[in-house]
């Protein structure tokens, strides 16, 4: 299905920031206004639609175009499945990059040709990755071309102006997200109500367009899995991150310690990967020894990471008052608000009587993040679940074996 750019978005922005769209910037002009839906929506309605859509989405393919102020357009083909496969193929100027991720095998491929005017094609293959979702932060483009992540960025918002529109026959939400003292200072995101995916994202600063991401083609329930094979003759660098796929029955033996895993999960989540990172192998700064497990529900990913305290000089997940005030940068390289945390007392499970720390807000929007520790273990839980479900999950943690 061909998806029209989210019309009227910049018209709305211009009403808030006079002068938007003027000057000699890129062509980011709005298309003729679609039919408006008259009822007054709330931000909570959008967030509920995102959660419902992404949790039910089994696969999709999207052609995305990213326009930067003063720069050329970048075309990106994005494919993803609920089974843990993802692929981005992006083209700009004379260069190309392909990112391929297979969560079932713990493998990521980064293929580049003509990047930054460099010579022959090259590829990096990482194996033995921890459990979790795809991480494509190595992309050469400053704006993430991922409709799922841009939708999830709205899930942590406390306020925002919301409108509803009909875009090319699709019911959609348009959310204005103010980011005071940040760059860009305003995001306008259009969300497809049925799938929860972002159809368009506009970054506005000082009344002028900074960038625009728009989905030009969208197909859901494709029934096909993305694949990628490195062309013959390409130089390949291989990195083993030191993780081994395992089973619940065998995780203690492979991991080398007695981990904890949840005995309760939110409805709909099924096991995706259970991984033990073997001590003494892999780049330790990226994959410390431990156990990580991932469960999947549509495009949602829930990850539990367990580390033994033995051999760790500090808690890698700890956040103190000073850290809470530290400015961070989002994946687009822009300053973002520092995270805020709250303490949550736990009433059950292996950590009963201990307080967990839960991230209340921060740059990694779209789900819950908690960490808790005792004298022997450190556990971090992250994923696309509510605060209540995250706490209940942590209170269900029990020693395996």
Q: Residue 274 has what pLDDT?
A: 92
Residue 12 has pLDDT above 90, yes or no: no
When mean pLDDT is compared over 33-47, 93-107, 156-170, 293-307, the highest value belongs to: 293-307
Q: pTM, whole model, 2 decimals?
A: 0.80
Q: Are residues 216 and 247 in the same domain?
A: no
Is 318 inside any structural domain? Answer: yes
More confident residue, 29 or 100: 100
Euclidean distance between CA atoms 278 and 254, whole angstroms: 7
Tens-digit pLDDT profile for residues 103-155 = 989 999 999 988 665 678 999 999 998 898 877 655 556 778 889 989 998 98
Assign 73 to helix, strand or coil: strand
Overall average pLDDT of the 385-394 stretch: 91
More confident residue, 224 or 238: 238
Tens-digit pLDDT profile for residues 189-236 = 999 999 999 999 999 988 899 999 999 999 998 888 999 999 999 999
Q: Residue 241 has what pLDDT?
A: 86
Is 233 inside any structural domain? Answer: no
Q: Are residues 133 and 171 in the same domain?
A: yes
Q: Are residues 388 and 262 in the same domain?
A: yes
Q: Are residues 211 and 251 in the same domain?
A: no
Residue with the two structure tokens 């556990």: 379
Is 70 inside any structural domain? Answer: yes
Is 225 inside any structural domain? Answer: no
Query: Residue 202 sits in a domain of what CATH number?
Result: 2.50.20.10
Residue 249 has pLDDT above 70, yes or no: yes
Q: Are residues 375 and 339 in the same domain?
A: yes
Both tokens assigned to 335: 């300053």
In this structure, are residues 96 and 114 in contact, taking their beta carbons and an 8 Å threshold?
Answer: yes
Query: In the chain, what percentage of residues exceed pLDDT 90?
Result: 45
Q: Are residues 200 and 259 in the same domain?
A: no
**Which of 162, 188, 220 corresponds to the end of one domain?**
220
Residue 264 has pLDDT above 70, yes or no: yes
Euclidean distance between CA atoms 217 and 3, whole angstroms: 5
Q: Are residues 202 and 272 in the same domain?
A: no
> Number of folded domains in the chain?
2
Tens-digit pLDDT profile for residues 54-87 = 999 999 999 999 998 887 888 999 999 999 999 9
Is 46 inside any structural domain? Answer: yes
Domain of residue 284, residue span: 242-399
Query: In the chain, what percentage of residues exceed pLDDT 70?
Result: 77
Q: Name the band, by pLDDT with cuts 50, 70 and 90, for residue 53.
A: very high
Query: Residue 354 sits in a domain of what CATH number?
Result: 3.30.200.100
Q: Are residues 200 and 92 in the same domain?
A: yes
| Least confident window among 44-53, 115-124, 241-250 | 115-124
Residues in the chain: 401
Q: Are residues 131 and 246 in the same domain?
A: no
Q: State the average pLDDT for the chain.
A: 80
Is 232 inside any structural domain? Answer: no
Task: Decide: residue 138, CB within 10 A, 0-12 exposed, 13-18 middle, 19+ buried.
Answer: exposed
Q: Name the band, by pLDDT with cuts 50, 70 and 90, for residue 319.
A: low
When mean pLDDT is compared over 90-94, 143-147, 294-298, 324-328, the highest value belongs to: 294-298
Task: Kindly tell me the sign of the dihedral angle through the C-alpha atoms of 24, 30, 32, 38.
Answer: negative
Euclidean distance between CA atoms 47 and 50, whole angstroms: 5
Q: Are residues 212 and 180 in the same domain?
A: yes
Q: Residue 387 has what pLDDT?
A: 85
Q: Are residues 159 and 281 in the same domain?
A: no
Residue 281 has pLDDT above 90, yes or no: no
Q: Which residues contact 361 (CB under 8 A, 6 or more apart)?
A: 156, 158, 337, 339, 340
Overall average pLDDT of the 93-101 stretch: 87
When mean pLDDT is compared over 12-26, 112-126, 372-386, the highest value belongs to: 372-386
Euclidean distance between CA atoms 33 and 35, whole angstroms: 7
Q: Residue 139 has what pLDDT?
A: 57
Q: Are residues 246 and 110 in the same domain?
A: no
């Amino acid at each position: 299905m061909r998806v029209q750019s989210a019309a009227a978005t910049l018209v709305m922005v211009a009403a808030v920031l006079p002068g938007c769209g003027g000057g000699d910037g890129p062509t980011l002009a709005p298309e003729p206004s679609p039919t408006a839906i008259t009822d007054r929506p709330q931000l909570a309605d959008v967030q509920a639609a995102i959660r419902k859509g992404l949790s039910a989405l089994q696969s999709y393919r999207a052609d995305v175009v990213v326009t930067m102020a003063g720069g050329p357009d970048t075309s990106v083909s994005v494919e993803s499945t609920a089974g843990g496969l993802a692929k981005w193929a992006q083209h700009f100027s004379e260069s190309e990059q392909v990112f391929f991720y297979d969560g079932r095998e713990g493998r990521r491929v980064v293929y580049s040709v003509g990047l930054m005017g460099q010579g022959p094609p090259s590829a990096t293959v990482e194996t033995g990755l921890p459990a979790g979702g795809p991480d494509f932060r190595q992309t050469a483009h400053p704006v993430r071309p991922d409709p799922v992540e841009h939708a999830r960025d709205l899930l942590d918002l406390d306020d925002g102006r919301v409108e509803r529109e009909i875009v090319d026959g699709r019911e959609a939400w348009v959310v204005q997200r103010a980011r005071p003292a940040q760059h860009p200072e305003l995001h306008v995101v259009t969300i497809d109500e049925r799938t929860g995916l972002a159809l368009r994202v506009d970054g506005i600063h000082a009344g002028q367009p900074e960038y625009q991401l728009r989905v030009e083609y969208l197909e859901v329930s494709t029934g096909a899995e993305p694949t990628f094979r490195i062309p013959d003759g390409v130089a390949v660098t291989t990195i083993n991150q030191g993780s081994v796929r395992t089973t619940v029955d065998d995780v203690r033996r492979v991991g080398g310690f007695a981990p904890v895993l949840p005995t309760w999960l939110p409805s709909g989540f099924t096991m995706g990967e259970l991984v033990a990172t073997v001590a003494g192998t892999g780049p330790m700064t990226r994959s410390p020894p431990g156990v990580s497990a991932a469960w999947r529900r549509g495009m949602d990913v829930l990850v539990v990471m367990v580390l033994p305290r033995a051999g760790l000089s500090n808690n890698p997940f700890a956040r103190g008052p000073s850290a809470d005030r530290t400015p961070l940068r989002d994946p687009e390289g822009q300053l973002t608000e520092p995270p805020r945390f709250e303490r949550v007392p736990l009433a059950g499970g292996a950590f009963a009587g201990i307080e967990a720390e839960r991230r209340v807000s921060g740059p990694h929007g779209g789900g819950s993040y908690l960490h808790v520790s005792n004298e022997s273990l450190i556990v971090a839980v992250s994923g696309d679940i509510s605060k209540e479900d995250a706490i209940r999950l942590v209170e269900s943690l029990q020693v395996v074996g």
